[in-house]
Amino acid sequence: MVRCAEIQSAIRVGANSFLFTQYKYLAAFTAVFAVVIFLFLGSVHRFSTESQPCQYTRGKACKPALANAVFSTIAFLLGAATSVASGFLGMRIATAANARTTVEARRGIGPAFAAAFRSGAVMGFLLASLGLLVLYVAIKVFGLYYGDDWEGLYESITGYGLGGSSMALFGRVGGGIYTKAADVGADLVGKVERNIPEDDPRNPAVIADNVGDNVGDIAGMGSDLFGSYAESTCAALFVASISSFGADHNFAAVSYPLLISSAGLIVCLITTLFATDLYRVKTVDGVAPALKLQLLISTVLMTVGVLVVTFTALPHEFTMFDFGEVKRVKNWHLFFCVTIGLWAGLAIGFTTEYFTSNAYSPVRDVADSCRTGAATNVIFGLALGYKSVIVPVFAIAVSIYVSFTLASIYGIAVAALGMLSTVATGLAIDAYGPISDNAGGIAEMAGMSHRIRQRTDALDAAGNTTAAIGKGFAIGSAALVSLALFGAFVSRAGMAVINVLNPKVFVGLVVGAMLPYWFSAMTMKSVGSAALKMVEEVRRQFAAIPGLMEGRATPDYASCVRISTDASLREMMPPGALVLLAPLVAGTFFGVQTLAGLLAGALVSGVQVAISASNSGGAWDNAKKYIEAGASDHAKALGPKGSDAHKAAVIGDTIGDPLKDTSGPSLNILIKLMAVESLVFAPFFAAHGGLIFK
């Protein structure tokens, strides 16, 4: 118990230290970018304080462009602060829960599962409710100035999504580089070269590895899903404000996205009770079904919740903005839009589970390929990742077609909200994974019995799959969110149609499709460079510290923590600059047509790369755990730990680590952030953009 407390304290101190250092860098970036937003938007009408004719409501005057610049900047700062708070509070919860889960594992698998899941649920509800509350308060406070100018009000609110996603990008990239540098270093030297168990206290990188789970998989993932939630809500609110809802000043109808999210909180609260009170886990085999049941129950209950909200808040018939036209929509159309997004999310989740869980044949085939070495393991894993893209893309495509046909761009925005409406449950099962992983590490380092480590390993194996499911949700929702933001940008920039055969558009399309590969190359190389230093340091300590391998000496954990911290803070800047500068350069120098092509290309390419990268990495990880667990005759034939097949699986896992925890998850932020940034700066691009192509 004393040792558990010491290890928990070391992990918490390391995570706090990294995040506070990272937030100092992000505070400087936020201040600079806030000034950029103000200057770009204020210059649209030369910082005029006079009212301007409304763009969508003819014959009516709207607030001056200077006001839009000021309030968009404030919304950006609010979104950034909320995103940082979401990530930090999530990390605090996780670092308090990890050792508790370890201690509860002494009593059995059920209490350990409940401790990990409840902690994840606290984070899920905290993030979802905090995002909703801050956004609602911002709308009300901004409304005191804007009055009946809802067009200007909801345009300025889009800055909230930009702030959330900006922080999420650096959180995901920085946290991902930190955790994977430590993980790769610990695994390659510890497992492959020294043949010691995972999370062995003799391994100098073990504390950095466990710290990384919290700063990357918890804080980064929390900021990421908050960004998706904020952006989808802002896109839906903006499109609603320029439709009949806004013209009629029907606040209940405009607030439909907020009401959907509110209903989602109630549904997720009921759903959580099934895992903790009504359907308690009693055996190892009950862990994965309990988590899968959470997804299914929340989706079914949310369908009923959407029905109630839709027919209560919306008028029977209304009109939506449709790129210069007016589209007549009925309330049941929006019910189907939200519902198809909701069920598409479930389809993506279950498909991800099939391709990344070692209960099914794809992962077992990858494990079996380890018999002939690491090369065949890598080939099988890559093929699995490419194949896993098919069903999610069809699910997204069907959602887009149905929702756009029924309610134009607003339909796509609320479909994205439907996918994110159960975000509290999604975060609960996602955060559960890193908490369980940390619990297993603490059990190993504290010298607890093999029986307890088996229980935490069972929780961790299910957690790997739920983390992959969470990433699937994030990527699927990012595709819909980005398309909704893309539509809002096109309408705000005053484009009625985008012609792909126009060379300006096609050039943007080709370059946009390249950006996810450029971004992935930067993040992958960053992890590789940091891991190289980590491997050298771990090898140095094993060679230089007498008695370390025999357990008679304590490794220098702090030096490995420092390597990961320095590398992540240094390496997160170039990928972040690429994402933030690409829309600004394209819009300013080449115009809105090229920027539209750039966004479309990045969206189409980024979704495919993100899904395949995340699922390949998840499959390699669980193939390794399948061999380590030895739960079946097939797995026993491939094992035990330290066998050639196990070493091949560890190599596959280390290759997959940066794919599933750095590049893959960060790509969904890339496509969202570029789209919301383009929407926020659309007035400037429309007025002054295209310096070269003009």
> pLDDT of 255-270, one tens digit each?
999 999 999 999 999 9
Q: Is 47 exposed, middle or buried (0-12, 13-18, 19+ CB in 10 A)?
A: middle
Q: What's the confidence (pLDDT) of residue 295?
A: 86
Q: Is 283 exposed, middle or buried (0-12, 13-18, 19+ CB in 10 A)?
A: exposed
Helix (H) or strand (E) holding 424: helix 423-445
**Top-ranked range on mean pLDDT: pick from 25-39, 162-176, 217-231:** 25-39
Q: What's the confidence (pLDDT) of residue 475?
A: 84
Q: What is the pTM of this model?
A: 0.89
Would you say residue 622 has pLDDT above 80? yes
Tokens of 607: 């979704």
Q: Is 35 exposed, middle or buried (0-12, 13-18, 19+ CB in 10 A)?
A: exposed
Residue 444 one-letter amino acid: E
Q: What's the confidence (pLDDT) of residue 193?
A: 82
- Torsion angles phi and psi, residue 77, rounded to 5: -65, -40
Q: Domain for residue 60, yes or no?
A: yes
Q: Domain for residue 234, yes or no?
A: yes
pLDDT band of residue 30 (cuts 50, 70, 90) is very high
Q: Domain for residue 693, yes or no?
A: no
pLDDT band of residue 287 (cuts 50, 70, 90) is confident
Q: What's the confidence (pLDDT) of residue 81?
A: 93
CA 130 to chain CA centroid, Å, is: 17
Using an 8 Å Cβ cutoff, are 610 and 667 in contact? yes
Would you say residue 434 has pLDDT above 80? yes
Q: Looking at 493-556, list the stretches that DSSP marks H as alpha helix, in order from N- to C-terminal side.
A: 503-544
| Residue with the larger pLDDT of the pair 511 and 149 | 511
Q: Give per-residue pLDDT as tens, 514-544.
A: 999 999 999 999 888 888 888 899 899 988 9
Q: Domain for residue 694, yes or no?
A: no
Q: Rounded to whole angstroms, how far apart are CA atoms 342 and 336?
A: 10
Would you say residue 611 has pLDDT above 90? yes
Report CA torsion sign: 564, 565, 566, 567: positive
CA 103 to chain CA centroid, Å, is: 30
Q: Give per-residue pLDDT as tens, 543-571.
A: 899 888 888 888 888 888 888 888 888 88
How many structural domains is the chain composed of?
Answer: 1
Residue 48 is part of which domain span?
A: 1-688
Using an 8 Å Cβ cutoff, are 512 and 601 in contact? yes
Helix (H) or strand (E) holding 279: none
Q: What's the confidence (pLDDT) of residue 28?
A: 92
Q: What's the confidence (pLDDT) of residue 34?
A: 94
Helix (H) or strand (E) holding 573: helix 573-585
Q: What's the confidence (pLDDT) of residue 257?
A: 92
Residue 26 one-letter amino acid: L
**HEC states along 351-386?**
HHHHHHCCCCHHHHHHHHHHHHCHHHHHHHHHHHHH
Rounded to an integer, the average pLDDT of 487-491 is: 87
Q: Give per-residue pLDDT as tens, 182-193.
A: 888 888 888 778
Alpha carbon distance, N-terminus to C-terminus of the chain: 70
Q: Is 460 exposed, middle or buried (0-12, 13-18, 19+ CB in 10 A)?
A: buried
Q: Rounded to whole angstroms, how far apart are CA atoms 573 and 566?
A: 12
pLDDT band of residue 661 (cuts 50, 70, 90) is confident
Q: Running DSSP on this structure, what letter comes out for residue 548? A: T
Would you say residue 246 has pLDDT above 80? no
Q: What's the confidence (pLDDT) of residue 79?
A: 93
Tokens of 168: 């999420």
Rounded to an integer, the average pLDDT of 592-604 is: 94
Q: Rounded to whole angstroms, how far apart are CA atoms 519 and 300?
A: 37
Q: Give per-residue pLDDT as tens, 105-143.
A: 898 888 999 899 999 899 889 888 998 999 999 999 999
Q: How many residues does the chain have?
A: 694
Residue 192 one-letter amino acid: V
Q: Is 31 exposed, middle or buried (0-12, 13-18, 19+ CB in 10 A)?
A: exposed
Rounded to an integer, the average pLDDT of 364-370 is: 93
Average pLDDT, the chain: 88
Would you say residue 375 has pLDDT above 90? yes
Would you say residue 451 has pLDDT above 90? no
Q: What's the confidence (pLDDT) of residue 382?
A: 95
CA–CA–CA angle 22, 23, 24 (5° rounding): 90
Using an 8 Å Cβ cutoff, are 160 and 72 in contact? no
Q: Give per-residue pLDDT as tens, 335-361.
A: 999 999 999 988 998 898 899 888 889
Residue with tokens 């189409």: 604
- Torsion angles phi and psi, residue 43, rounded to 5: -80, -5
Contacts of 161 (CB under 8 A, 6+ apart): 79, 227, 230, 231, 233, 234, 235, 485, 676
Would you say residue 321 has pLDDT above 90? no
Q: Give per-residue pLDDT as tens, 398-428.
A: 999 999 999 888 899 999 999 888 888 888 8
Rounded to an integer, the average pLDDT of 43-61 is: 78
- CA-nearest of 580, 584, 581, 594 to 510 is 594
Q: Rounded to whole angstroms, how far apart are CA atoms 19 and 224?
A: 15
**HEC states along 453-505?**
HHHHHHHHHHHHHHHHHHHHHHHHHHHHHHHHHHHHHHHHCCCCCCCCCCHHH
Q: What's the confidence (pLDDT) of residue 369?
A: 93
Strand, coil or helix: 211: helix
Using an 8 Å Cβ cutoff, are 331 and 256 in contact? no
- CA-nearest of 353, 330, 350, 347 to 407 is 330
Would you say residue 181 has pLDDT above 90? no
Q: Give per-residue pLDDT as tens, 681-692.
A: 998 998 888 888
CA 308 to chain CA centroid, Å, is: 29
Using an 8 Å Cβ cutoff, are 90 and 431 in contact? yes
Q: What's the confidence (pLDDT) of residue 326?
A: 80
Q: What's the confidence (pLDDT) of residue 307?
A: 95
Q: Rounded to whole angstroms, how far apart are CA atoms 29 and 18?
A: 17
Helix (H) or strand (E) holding 322: strand 317-322
Tokens of 295: 């997804």
Rounded to an integer, the average pLDDT of 61-80 is: 90
Q: Looking at 630-694, list the stretches that DSSP marks H as alpha helix, in order from N- to C-terminal side.
A: 633-638, 644-658, 664-680, 682-688
Report CA torsion sign: 301, 302, 306, 309: positive
Whole-Å CA distances, 126 to 83, 297, 586? 12, 20, 37
Q: What's the confidence (pLDDT) of residue 440?
A: 86
Q: What's the confidence (pLDDT) of residue 594?
A: 94
